[in-house]
Chain A
Amino acid sequence: ETGVTQTPRHLVMGMTNKKSLKCEQHLGHNAMYWYKQSAKKPLELMFVYSLEERVENNSVPSRFSPECPNSSHLFLHLHTLQPEDSALYLCASSQDGAPGYNEQFFGPGTRLTVL
C-alpha cells in the first residue's frame, strides 16, 4: 500500500448504528486529519492530530469521536448519526509540527450515507 488509504470506501448506516472509519498513511508523516466534504460546501476540518496534540473544530458534534493510536493510523468512530451527516469523509496526512502548515496528502474518502 502507498499513500493514504481509507476503509471502507462506502458505508450505509442507520441512525442507531455504531461504525468506525479507518485511515492509514504510509508516508511517514507526523500529522493526520479528518475532513467532511458535503456538496456545495467547503471542505470542513473536523480533527487534527499532530505531534501528539489534538485540535478539534468546535462545531463538530460529539457523535463523531476520533482516535489516533499512532502516527500512521487514524479512526473516526460514529454513533447515533443524523441524515445530515451523510457526506464524503476524507483523511489526510502531512509532515510538520504545525497543523496545516505543509501540504496535505489525501485518501480517497469514505462515502457515508445515513438512513
Chain B
Amino acid sequence: EDQVTQSPEALRLQEGESSSLNCSYTVSGLRGLFWYRQDPGKGPEFLFTLYSAGEEKEKERLKATLTKKESFLHITAPKPEDSATYLCAVQARASGGSYIPTFGRGTSLIVHP
C-alpha cells in the first residue's frame, strides 16, 4: 500500500509558467516530509525538510508547504534548468518499529525555453 502519492506523474511547463507539484501522504504521526530533486543519471539531491503543518520553506524559485495531509512544491517562474524529477518522502514507522523513509514515485518536470 502506497503511503506517499505524488501528482502529476509528469508536467510540462513553458519557461516562466508557475505551477505546483503535490505530495499526499497517509502516514500517522508524521516525523518529517522531505523533497528531493533528481537529475537523470544522478542520485537525488536534498531540497527541503518540513516537520509540522503550516511550515513553509523557500529556496530560489522553489517553495515547499505542508498540511496535515499533503505537501506542495510551488515553482515560480521556472527555468529550463529546473527540469528534473522531484521526489517526496515521508518518515514512516516500519513493521519492526523503526522509522524509515518512504518515497513517492516522483513528478517528472520539463520546462521548455
Identify the A interface with B (CB < 8 A). 4, 40-43, 45, 48, 53, 55, 57-58, 90, 92, 98-109
Contacts and interface: CB of A to CB of B under 8 A. Distances in A.
A108 B87 CA distance: 16
A43 B42 CA distance: 13
B96 A106 contact: no
B39 to A, nearest CB: 10
Contacts of A99: 98-101
A48 B43 contact: no
B45 A42 contact: no
Interface of B: 2, 4, 31-32, 34, 36, 41-46, 49, 87, 89, 91, 94-96, 98-106
A64 B1 CA distance: 23
A49 B94 CA distance: 15
23 contacts: A40-B105, A41-B105, A42-B4, A42-B103, A42-B104, A43-B44, A43-B87, A45-B103, A48-B98, A48-B100, A55-B96, A57-B100, A90-B44, A92-B43, A99-B101, A100-B91, A100-B99, A100-B101, A103-B34, A104-B44, A104-B46, A106-B43, A109-B42
